[in-house]
């Protein structure tokens, strides 16, 4: 089965080609079937691969398809690497991906035929790129996928390209990603000069020889991390992600919650040896992750757009994943990627269902009381909130707890700050939930009349994801529960190379219980606080002041970037345009033109039309030439 792994990315690619090329002739039903079917088939193949990979004693396999680049001694094959990490990501991508495809068939039904097919073509292309990213057996393959998802993200954010604001959001995402990609690319170049290869196996086998904290290693780790910062929306390159909510909601769910943004996590988890051997950069990763987690959570507290809240919560959760990577808890990071994919996709799809019912309204101040109109959405959304808040039993609890426990091992400060962020998470998620689903309806009459539960194509993925949000965490239960941690055992071979370099000191079980207890109690307190404050919230039109205003305006980060980067760049360009271009280059070019014109007007007088003079000039020329050849 593993040799057929190329089928997994090929199927979505075929779907993309068929839907993209046949967008004018295919009917919506056919497009939906092709789009969802190819990803679903990919999921089946992934599942078979996973079953093979999870058997005891499985070694990674490289499926070599053809040589992609062969320059001198540098050989970059187009090869897929199947191992436990990539198989797990395959499963998540195709699984969540196919659910979102199914969801989209209903959500996007109002689009025109052509737009519908275009949407599915982009979505399939995205899945293809993402699969390429996780399957690639070297950094260049990964980079191809990396750029592919960036492109699809651009296309999908700007899907409704007639709205200039959406186009700006798409551009922003693309440019922000490009900054990160430059770092990634430089990292790859450095790798080529240092190791002469970009294949994972070659690089990782040569890394330990360099020793811990070798300069070049630190540089590579930092450059790769810059790439991850861009793609996974970390400080300071996170601002594109909230704006990316301009795209259709299933896109937000697929790209900006479940898959694409986890590419950075995947890359660092994949390069774990490099990072383990560069502890200084690991520290940077942890601090950036933690800062992002708290920062984004604080912004989410005061946002009123249902998708913006979820977007900031995504940024925050990604921060937790980086924190886990930074403290060397690679398993915990991958675990959180998985559970986060489930509950964040669930939350986004749930919000999509709400937006659908509200006729496009996204402001939670105008919602409320949706509980009785949309029971299934209500229940699944609640499950998602419980999961992300970290209530015991739900998926988010186990993964977040593992991260926090590992952070505590590294430094209690990390734990305290991380817990603070987790409490804010619980608060803003339940603020969102209560403002949306309880209380009384605050929208217009027309909207109230229109409220309804969404069709089955929307509720089915919600139910499946809700179930996964509960049971998804059970594969990685900590040992204190006296059960086997499947995930840790499953992923152990991937992180084995870096195990010798990590300082292992386990928490005592009692300490772990205490930490767990503290976070659970505090989270429940936060939830009740949020309930008390927002369960019957009324829009009183009070302007926010002080810190709340700062939070509502997202710490003025966009304005800050505008002031320190965009504006100076504009004025610099203006200077170049007016100063250098017009009076420098233009003057030079026009001057040359004018000089030639003037000169030729003077020389024209030589053309007297008299043959004698011409012959005379010719003879003089001959004499000069002869003199030159004679004396020089």
Partner 1 sequence: MDLQLILFILLSAVAIISALGVVFSKNPVSSVLCLIVTFIAIAGHYILLNAQFLAVVHIIVYTGAIMVLFLFVIMLMNLNADIEPQKRNWMKYAGVISGGVMFLVLLAAVRDANMPALSTTSTDIGLIENLGKTLFTTYVVPFEISSILFLSAMVGAVIIGKKD
Partner 2 sequence: MPIQYYIFLSIALFCIGIMGVLMRRNAIIIFMCIEMMLNAVNLLLVSFSKMWADAGRVDAGSAQIFVFFIMVVAAAEVAVGLAIIVMMYRNSHSVDVNLLSRLKN
Q: Which residues bind partner 2 (CB under 8 A)?
A: 607-612, 615-616, 619
If the CB atoms of residues 603 and 611 are measured against partner 2, the closer one turns out to be 611
The closest of 94, 105, 100 to 40, measured between CA atoms, is 94
Count interface residues toward partner 1 (CB under 8 A): 10
Distance of CA 332 to CAs 226, 326, 391, 473, Å? Answer: 21, 11, 17, 11
- Residue 569 site contact among partner 1, partner 2, none (CB < 5 to 8 Å, cut-off depends on kind): none
Rounded to the nearest whole angstrom, what is the least distance from the CB of residue 616 to partner 1 in the complex? Answer: 6
- Residue 611 site contact among partner 1, partner 2, none (CB < 5 to 8 Å, cut-off depends on kind): partner 2
- Residue 626 site contact among partner 1, partner 2, none (CB < 5 to 8 Å, cut-off depends on kind): partner 1
Using DSSP, state whether 165 is helix, strand or coil: helix
Which residues does 421 contact at the CB level (< 8 Å), separation at least 6? 290, 293, 294, 297, 316, 319, 320
If the CB atoms of residues 598 and 614 are measured against partner 2, the closer one turns out to be 614
For residue 504, is the peptide bond before it cis, meaning its omega torsion is within 30 degrees of 0?
no
Q: CA-to-CA distance for 350 and 462, rounded, in angstroms?
A: 7
- Confirm or reject binding of residue 622 to partner 1 (CB under 8 A): yes
Rounded to the nearest whole angstrom, what is the least distance from the CB of residue 615 to partner 2 in the complex? Answer: 6
Report CA torsion sign: 375, 377, 381, 383: positive
**Candidate ranges 136-144, 555-563, 576-584, 612-620; the one touching partner 1 (CB under 8 A):** 612-620
Q: CA-to-CA distance for 7 and 123, rounded, in angstroms?
A: 17
Rounded to the nearest whole angstrom, what is the least distance from the CB of residue 631 to partner 1 in the complex? Answer: 9
If the CB atoms of residues 71 and 611 are measured against partner 2, the closer one turns out to be 611
Rounded to the nearest whole angstrom, what is the least distance from the CB of residue 595 to partner 2 in the complex? Answer: 24
- Confirm or reject binding of residue 630 to partner 1 (CB under 8 A): yes
- Confirm or reject binding of residue 623 to partner 1 (CB under 8 A): yes
Contact criterion met (CB below 8 Å) for 49 and 124: no
- Confirm or reject binding of residue 616 to partner 1 (CB under 8 A): yes
Which residues does 170 contact at the CB level (< 8 Å), separation at least 6? 154, 155, 157, 158, 161, 244, 246, 247
If the CB atoms of residues 542 and 606 are measured against partner 1, the closer one turns out to be 606
Q: Which of 65, 496, 525, 626 binds partner 1 (CB under 8 A)?
A: 626
Q: Which of 219, 612, 614, 632 binds partner 1 (CB under 8 A)?
A: 612
- Confirm or reject binding of residue 608 to partner 1 (CB under 8 A): no
State the Rg of the chain over Cα: 29
If the CB atoms of residues 597 and 607 are measured against partner 2, the closer one turns out to be 607
Per-residue burial over 399-436, b if 16 or more Cβ lie within 10 Å, else e, is: bbbbbbbbbbbbeeebbebbbbbbbbbbbbbbbbbbbb
If the CB atoms of residues 209 and 611 are measured against partner 2, the closer one turns out to be 611
* Complete DSSP assignment for 514-574: HHHHHHHHHHHHHHHHHHHHHTT-----PPP-HHHHHHHTGGGHHHHHIIIIIHHHHHHHH
- Residue 617 site contact among partner 1, partner 2, none (CB < 5 to 8 Å, cut-off depends on kind): none
Rounded to the nearest whole angstrom, what is the least distance from the CB of residue 603 to partner 1 in the complex? Answer: 20
Rounded to the nearest whole angstrom, what is the least distance from the CB of residue 612 to partner 2 in the complex? Answer: 6
- Residue 72 site contact among partner 1, partner 2, none (CB < 5 to 8 Å, cut-off depends on kind): none
Residue 405 tokens, joined: 């426990």
Binding residues (CB under 8 A) for partner 1: these are 612, 616, 619-620, 622-623, 626-627, 629-630
């Amino acid at each position: 089965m593993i040799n057929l792994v190329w089928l997994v990315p090929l199927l979505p690619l075929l779907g993309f080609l068929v839907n993209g090329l046949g967008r004018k002739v295919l009917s919506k039903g056919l497009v939906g079937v092709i789009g969802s079917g190819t990803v679903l088939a990919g999921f089946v193949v992934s599942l078979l691969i996973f079953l093979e990979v999870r058997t005891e004693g499985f070694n990674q396999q490289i499926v070599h398809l053809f040589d992609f680049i062969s320059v001198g001694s540098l050989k970059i094959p187009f090869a897929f690497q199947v191992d436990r990490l990539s198989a797990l990501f395959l499963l998540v991508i195709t699984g969540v991906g196919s659910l979102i495809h199914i969801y989209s068939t209903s959500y996007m039904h109002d689009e025109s035929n052509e737009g519908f097919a275009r949407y599915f073509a982009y979505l399939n292309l995205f899945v293809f790129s993402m699969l390429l990213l996780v399957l690639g057996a070297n950094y260049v393959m990964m980079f191809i996928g990396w750029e592919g998802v960036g492109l699809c993200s651009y296309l999908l954010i700007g899907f409704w390209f007639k709205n200039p604001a959406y186009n700006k959001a798409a551009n922003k995402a693309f440019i922000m990603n490009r900054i990160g990609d430059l770092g990634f690319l430089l990292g790859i170049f450095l790798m080529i000069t240092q190791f002469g290869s970009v294949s994972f196996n070659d690089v990782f086998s040569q890394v330990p020889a360099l020793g811990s904290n070798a300069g070049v290693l630190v540089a590579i780790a930092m450059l790769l991390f810059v790439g991850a910062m861009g793609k996974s929306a970390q400080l300071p390159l996170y601002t594109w992600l909230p704006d990316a909510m301009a795209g259709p909601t299933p896109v937000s769910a697929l790209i900006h919650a479940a898959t694409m943004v986890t590419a950075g996590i995947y890359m660092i988890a994949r390069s774990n040896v490099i990072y383990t051997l560069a502890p200084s950069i690991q520290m940077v990763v942890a601090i950036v992750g933690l800062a992002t987690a708290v920062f984004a959570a604080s912004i989410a507290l005061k946002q009123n757009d249902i998708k913006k809240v979820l977007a900031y919560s995504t940024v925050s959760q990604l921060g937790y994943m980086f924190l886990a990577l930074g403290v060397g808890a690679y398993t915990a990071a991958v675990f959180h990627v998985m559970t986060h994919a489930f509950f964040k996709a669930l939350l986004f799809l749930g919000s999509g269902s709400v937006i659908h019912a509200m006729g496009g309204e996204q402001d939670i101040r105008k919602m409320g009381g949706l509980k009785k109109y949309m029971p299934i959405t209500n229940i699944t959304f609640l499950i998602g909130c419980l999961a992300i808040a970290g209530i015991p039993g739900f998926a988010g609890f186990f993964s977040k707890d593992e991260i926090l426990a590992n952070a505590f091992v590294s430094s209690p400060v990390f734990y305290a700050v991380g817990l603070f962020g987790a409490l804010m998470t619980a608060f803003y998620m339940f603020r969102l939930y209560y403002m949306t689903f309880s209380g009384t309806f605050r929208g217009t009459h027309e909207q109230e009349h229109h409220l309804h539960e969404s069709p089955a194509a929307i509720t089915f993925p919600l139910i499946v994801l809700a179930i996964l949000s509960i049971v998804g965490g059970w594969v990685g239960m900590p040992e204190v529960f006296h059960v086997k941690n499947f995930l840790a055992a499953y992923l152990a071979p991937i992180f084995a190379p870096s195990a010798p370099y990590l300082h292992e000191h386990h928490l005592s079980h009692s300490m772990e219980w205490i930490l767990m207890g503290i976070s659970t109690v505090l989270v429940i307190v936060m939830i009740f606080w949020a309930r008390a404050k927002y369960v019957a919230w009324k829009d009183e039109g009070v302007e926010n002041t002080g810190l709340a205003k700062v939070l509502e305006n997202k710490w003025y980060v966009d304005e800050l970037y505008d002031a320190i980067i965009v504006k100076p760049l504009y004025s610099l360009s203006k200077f170049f345009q007016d100063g250098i271009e017009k009076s420098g280059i233009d003057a030079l070019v026009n001057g040359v033109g004018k000089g030639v014109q003037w000169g030729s007007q003077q020389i024209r007088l030589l053309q007297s039309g008299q043959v004698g003079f011409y012959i005379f000039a010719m003879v003089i020329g001959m004499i000069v030439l002869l003199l030159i050849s004679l004396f020089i």
